[in-house]
Amino acid sequence: MDTNVEKVHCLIIGSGPAGYTAAVYAARANMKPVLYQGIQPGGQLTITTEVENYPGYPDGIQGPEMMVHFEKQAARMGADIRYGLATKVDFSKKPFKVWIDEEKEMEADAVIIATGASAKWLGLESEQRLNGFGVSACAVCDGFFFRGKEVAIVGAGDTAAEEALYLSKLCTTVHMIIRRDTMRASKVMQERVQQTPNIKIYWNSETDEILGENKTEAVRIKNVKTGETQTVPISGFFVAIGHQPNSDIFKDFIDMDEAGYIKTIPGTSKTNVEGVFAAGDVQDKIYRQAVTAAGSGCMAALDAERYLSAIGHV
């Protein structure tokens, strides 16, 4: 046997709340899980600041610190946590094969996919520099910090509409920057946005630059039709132009929707391949919260445990 091939019962791919929670449950069920962390250990929460809506932290906690807690808990239960990126899979036969960093080959009886999703960004230098300093891709996570202040949001889909409405309840004014003269969001959401007095829409507009040295202070908005720019003072800048599920390497084997979100059988974490489960944002485009991801990670480990017992592996 090739020495670079390793066989495990349960392989978990991804290290956000879903992956680590799956690891806690799988380790406690004696499934000896091996978890590969991927390119961004700890996932999306490592690029946020304070988390105030995860139960169990009455005083809130910094996102990166919370993910250290998740990792420590999974390790203490006995999960084998490794740095490495899954680069290719073969789910056409059992045991399943997963290649790590294009070289190491893992064989697994059960696989839990918890690779998450990545927020799309505009690509501005100022957006990157001020990320976590007023710039955010999650209003539900960070909107609270801008209570009583003015904010801007970019995007015109259901997420942007939902987040603009959420922010309108906290903030004095929400400046909504929309690149065309129409919104992509569902009609009912569009109507709600347009009927909310403190949401000000800038049609045919793009973000020219976010201004501020160490914190967000203003946004320069450019009208693409007229070329005119205006500078609007704000404290928070939210990007809501969609997410990209990290599911590319699975597409030859796993059923997904047109955006690449993995389809699971409702009420379970089961994918179309028996023995392969999915949890967290890679299969959830609606809720996308740390707590819902953790909950679905638990479901995936329980589903995997039942599957492995049924085939006589645990």
Residues that bind ligand NDP in the complex, under the rule CB under 6 A: 122, 154-160, 162, 179-180, 184, 241-243, 285-286
Query: Per DSSP, what are the bridge partners of residue 90?
Result: 97
Q: Which of 10, 138, 171, 298 is catalytic?
A: 138
* CB of residue 306 to ligand NDP, shortest distance in Å: 30
- With respect to ligand NDP, which residue has the nearer C-beta, 275 or 280? 280
Number of helices followed by number of strands (H, E) in the chain: 7, 19
Range list of β-strands (E), 83-217:
86-90, 96-100, 104-113, 117-119, 135-136, 150-154, 173-177, 199-202, 205-211
Q: Which two tokens stand for residue 151?
A: 């904010």
Residue with nearest beta carbon to ligand NDP: 157
- With respect to ligand NDP, which residue has the nearer C-beta, 98 or 154? 154
- With respect to ligand NDP, which residue has the nearer C-beta, 78 or 242? 242
CB neighbour burial string for 178-215, b if at least 16 within 10 angstroms, e if fewer: bbeeebbbeeebbebbeebeebebbbebbbbbbbbeee
* CB of residue 170 to ligand NDP, shortest distance in Å: 18
C-alpha to C-alpha distance for 54 and 255, rounded to whole angstroms: 31
C-alpha to C-alpha distance for 186 and 193, rounded to whole angstroms: 11
* CB of residue 167 to ligand NDP, shortest distance in Å: 14
- With respect to ligand NDP, which residue has the nearer C-beta, 87 or 182? 182
For 126, the enclosing helix (H) or strand (E) is: helix 125-129
* CB of residue 122 to ligand NDP, shortest distance in Å: 5
Residues 6 or more apart whose Cβ sits within 8 Å of residue 147? 170, 171
Identify whether 171 is a catalytic site residue. Answer: no
- Peptide bond preceding 95 in cis form (omega within 30 of 0): yes
Residue 166 CA, chain-centre distance (Å), reads 19
Identify whether 141 is a catalytic site residue. Answer: yes
- With respect to ligand NDP, which residue has the nearer C-beta, 61 or 178? 178
* CB of residue 199 to ligand NDP, shortest distance in Å: 15
Is the Cα dihedral 288, 13, 91, 96 positive or negative?
Answer: negative
Q: Which of 10, 141, 171, 298 is catalytic?
A: 141
Identify whether 138 is a catalytic site residue. Answer: yes
DSSP secondary-structure letter at 29?
A: T
Residue with tokens 């946005």: 193
- With respect to ligand NDP, which residue has the nearer C-beta, 152 or 304? 152
* CB of residue 243 to ligand NDP, shortest distance in Å: 6
Q: Are 237 and 136 in contact (CB under 8 A)?
A: yes
Query: Per DSSP, what are the bridge partners of residue 104?
Result: 100
Q: Which of 10, 109, 142, 158 is catalytic?
A: 142
Active site residues: 138, 141-142
